[in-house]
Amino acid sequence: MKKIISIVGARPQFIKHAPMQLELQKYFEALTIHTGQHYDENMSAVFFNELNMPPPDFLFDIGGSKPQGEQTGIMMKEIEAVCMKEKPDALLVYGDTNSTLAGTLVAAKMHIPQIHIEAGLRSFNRDMPEEINRIVADEFAYLLFCPTDQAIDNLKKEGITHNRIFKCGDVMCDMVKLMEPKSKRPVEYPYYFVTIHRPYNTDENSRLIHILQTLNNLDKKVIFSIHPRTVARLLQYGIDIKEFNNILFVPPTGYVESISYQKFSECVITDSGGIQKEAYILGKKCITLRSETEWTETLQNGWNTLAFDDLTQIKTAIHQKPGEHLGPIYGDGLAAAEITAIIKKHI
């Protein structure tokens, strides 16, 4: 039996990995490395339990507070040691995190075929570390699985045109379709659901306060699922969350709980790539606190609105009714099975 090692380390990757692991283990010796990039219990272990995934075979104690270079270097050292011992036939990485970059570089240097799920996405902002990680992962990938036609076009423009590029939908759509029936209305009153964690929204005191003040002045209650990174910045800046009485701050949510909060909200406000997708799949309007998005399809007909420099746009956009929903642009919920079938042919 061929051996595939999947590398995960952050919340969106646990979600993507769940349907893949369940399919892969039918045909391969499917092992998992959890780099520990997200080390909070609610950002990590709870997902393995809730999504019915087997626990990771290898768990590194990396943590998310180290500088990016140091973090990536430690991951590479640990991943390389596992690969030397296990001698996998392929390494599988997801998306655009430092865990993805570390796995890609180890695979390239050890001449192990690398599989990239969520290939071809581009925000065209190379100031974002995620953009660099995507480009490197795609450049060295043996098999590239793209969720959309636009992602394939992006690869072609960069000269990646070999015959191992496949459009297979999005594995996050698999999870949303699977978990949505388990969702329940979390509160009885109308609310907006918020997640904010990216450095350009949290790493400057004045920016973070401006965001919180804007949210606090919205016309409905705000439920803010607060990432450990954002908690750390609030403490660092001495920001008292009690001053924002229109915002209910809640710990990071489990997956079904997150889907529930999104599904029954009046609008989703986020800077997360994955939640933009989830909101679209759930038919929920989204406002993204970024100047660009790799999920450009969600912008069509006003289902997703970018608001960054001028946060007053939030108050306007939140009440604008979106146009026609374009339906299953991220697949039919069967991406993991299709991807696994193609891996079987090539590995």
Give the residue numbers marked as catalytic: 197
Could you tell me the two tokens for 77?
């050292």
| Helical packing angle, 11-24 and 273-281, nearest 10° | 60
Tokens 């306060």 sit at which residue? 209
Write a three-state SS string for 47-61. HHHHCCCCCCCEECC
Rg over CA atoms, the chain: 20
CB 166 within 8 A of CB 144: yes
Tokens 């997956």 sit at which residue? 255
Could you tell me the two tokens for 148?
């959309």
Residue type, 196: I
| Helical packing angle, 171-179 and 273-281, nearest 10° | 50
